[in-house]
Amino acid sequence: MKKLVIPFTLVAIIVGLFEQSKSNPNIYVLCIAIVIFMFGIMKLSAKLPSKSQEEKEEEDAD
């Protein structure tokens, strides 16, 4: 799953930046790029443990 999320997120960033650089950007394309980017970041960050969770695991191990 991670192998698919990263390319989609990168493509959304590139499309969003390219569309924003135009003199008359399409709002719908920008909104779709932002939604895909946010969804990708959400999926990627869900895999990372929080800092407080790591500290609790270290305390439990002691």
* Distance (Å, whole) CA 5 – CA 44: 8
pTM of the model: 0.72
Residue 41: what pLDDT? 92
Place of tokens 């003199």: 23
pLDDT in tens, 4-58: 888 999 999 999 999 999 999 999 999 999 999 999 999 988 877 777 766 666 6
Q: Where exactly are the structural domains of the chain?
A: 2-61
Contact 41, 8 (CB under 8 A): no
Work out the pLDDT band at 3, boundaries 50, 70, 90: confident
- Given a cut of 80, whether residue 60 has pLDDT beyond it is no
